Structure 1
Amino acid sequence: MKAFIAENIKGRRYAELAKLMSARFGITFTAGQMHAYAQNHSLSNEMPTGPIAGERPLLFPEPILTFIRENAKGKTNAELWKLVNATFGTDYTEKQVKQVKQRNHISSGLDGRFKPGTTPPNKGKKGYCAPGCEKSWFQKGHEPNNHLPVGSEVMRTDGYLQVKIAEPNIWKLKHILVWEKANGPVPKGSVVLFLDGNHENTSLENLMLITRAELARLNQRNLIRDDADLTKSGVLVARLISEIG
């Protein structure tokens, strides 16, 4: 097949070569396949480019393409599309005009931003609602099906338990609530540590207040273990390292 293409490509259009290949080998080839093969193997049919008699003409002839280049500045795709059809009596779609601009690197110069002094079309409006849509609105006092009452506990995606403490949707981490109930607010720059590393064990005995600097030392030296006593010892080591520093 490769030898056949090399011998017959010169002087033939890719569509003609595809038909020749299909007849010779009993396999359906397309002009696109022949073109791609020729490009990949540095072969040339040595034929002039552009449409020939009997072939499908260009979708955008040069006069129309030139018109698009000259009139694209400052116009949206919709404006340019309408202008082209009105000028040449064509029936292009807006998408076709947009695509030919992209293929030929034609820019309108518009960036979609509001210019200084421009009045937005929705100024003074709170939004548009189609007539009759208010029938499907939630009524005042409506309670969604997934509503959870105050006191509900939920496991977050990071593995921490949180508790709903107020409506409509106020939540707080459970281990913080437990520690603060016994000791007051967590001081700034401090965190509450799980001594056994289990985020579901929120008993007060498993919680310890440490500074963020101490937490950094614990993480750096892998001193947080699944045993509460070992972690307490790790905290003492972290504090000693900080004092030495």
Structure 2
Amino acid sequence: MVVGEYHRVFCAHFGRTDSTAEQLNALRKRQGWRTGRTGRFSPGQASHNKGKVCPPGVGGRHPNARKTQFKKNALPHNYRGAGHERIDDKDGYVVMIVAETNPWTGADTRPVLKHRYLWEQANGPLPDDHCLKCLDGDKTNTDPSNWEAIPRGVLPRLNGGRHKKRLAYDAAPDELKPTVLAVAKLEHAVRGGRQ
């Protein structure tokens, strides 16, 4: 209730003429009496300008404002549709936009790693606790034959070990890479058999 209204009701109910609206409002604040107003729209309450159209040439209908407004069915300048590819700055993998529903945002398209997408198209879903290892060291080569599914436990054995005591897969010459990968898989199988 507005201050003037509840002062009028107060004076009529108690027959008081000696107090002003400001005094009554100050008393209310000192005593901590609430007015019942929250400053928010209550559920179902219509806004004061509901159904009113902004007059032409004012606010959002001004010609200069209209120039910067989104048009219907217009796409932003940085929109990339299905089939668009880019190289990820962080890791160097190729990221591709595919026409599948994004499970997190509900969008019509979603970004996927191209090498994984193509590998799964050729070989089926990647098993749990497995990842794809690039065989030739070129992460932009997304041919499924260039990627091999390996257990995640093999990865530490391929990175050269602690203090780089063994030969890292990516640093090895091309003729030694199959041997390094086979040794890492064998070590992983031996360790896995003991547990």
Length-normalised TM-score, structure 2: 0.53
Q: What secondary structure sits across from 2:73 in the alignment?
A: coil
Q: Which runs of 5+ in 2 are unaligned?
A: 1-36, 44-57, 100-106
Distance 1:226 1:155, change over 3 A: farther
Report whether the alignment pairs 1:164 with 2:91: no
The residue identity in structure 1 corresponding to 2:69 is W
Residues 12-70 of structure 1, C-alpha deviations (whole Å, 9 max, x = no match):
xxxxxxxxxxxxxxxxxxxxxxxxxxxxxxxxxxxxxxxxxxxxxxxxxxxxxxxxxxx
Larger relative helix fraction: 1
Query: Which residue is equivalent to 1:213?
Result: 153
Candidates 137, 153, 168, aligned match of 2:85 = 153
Cα RMSD over matched residues?
A: 3.0
2:137 pairs, out of 182, 191, 197, with: 197
Deviations 1:144-175 (A, max 9, x none): 12222211111111211111102655111111
User: How many percent of aligned residue pairs carry the same amino acid?
Assistant: 30
Higher relative contact order (CA 8 A, sep 6+): 2
Over 3 Å counting, the alpha-carbon distance change for 1:223 and 1:151 in structure 2 is: same
Task: Show structure 1 runs of 5+ residues with no match.
Answer: 1-118, 126-130
Partner amino acid for 1:132? G
* Alignment partner, residue 169 of structure 2: 223
Q: How many angstroms apart in 1 are the aligned matches of 2:174 and 2:39?
A: 63
Distance 2:41 2:135 in 1: 56
Q: Which amino acid aligns with 1:151?
A: G
Residues matched between the structures, number:
123
Residue in structure 2 matched with residue 108 of structure 1 by the alignment: none
1:233 matches 2:172? no
Distance between the aligned counterparts of 1:186 and 1:122, measured in 2? Answer: 51
TM-score, normalization by structure 1: 0.43
Please tell me whether Structure 1 or Structure 2 has the larger radius of gyration of its CA atoms.
1
